[in-house]
Amino acid sequence: MREEIRRRILEASKAIPTGYLSDTVIKETIRCVLFGILKEQGLIPVPAFRNPRYPEGAVDIVGVTIGQEKLPAIEMAFCSNPVIELEDVKKLDRVPCEKKMIITFSRDRKKVDMTRFFLKPGIDHIHVHEETVKKA
C-alpha cells in the first residue's frame, strides 16, 4: 500500500503545472489523493480529524468504518508536511487506530532524514522524493 500511495501522490503532483507547485498545494494534493484511496478501500474519509478529547490540532485525514454498533472506528490516519514534525507525531499518537502514516515531501532529503528521530513505533513514513516532482 505504501508504494501505491507514493505512486499516486507523485502522479498527481506531476500533473500540476510547475508554477503552481508550493508546499500548500502539495499538502492539499496529498490529502485529495488519500481521500480517493480511502474511498476505494471502502472507508469513509474524514479530513481534518481531531480527537475531541485533546485540544491539539487535527490530523490531515482519517479513514473510518461504521461497525455493527453504528459507532465509527478509525482504521487509518495520515499527516503530511515537508519534513517530519513533532506536532504531527503527537497528533497521530492521539488517534485511536493502528495504521498511522506521515508523508513528507521536502526537496531536501537531508532535512527529512534529520527529522526521522521524531518518529515513534507504529507510525509509518513515506517520503515523496524531489526528483519525482516537476522542476522549474
Question: Is the predicted pLDDT of residue 132 greater than 60, yes or no?
Answer: no
pLDDT given at position 133: 43
What are the pLDDT digits (tens) for 25-57?
Answer: 999 999 999 999 999 999 999 999 998 888 778
pLDDT over 70, % of the chain? 92
Q: What is the pTM of this model?
A: 0.89
Residue 134 confidence (pLDDT) above 50: no
Kindly indicate the confidence band of residue 131, based on its pLDDT and cuts at 50, 70 and 90: low
DSSP string, 62-121: EEEEE-TTS-EEEEEEEEEESS--HHHHHHHHTS--SEEEEEE--S-HHHHHHTGGG--T
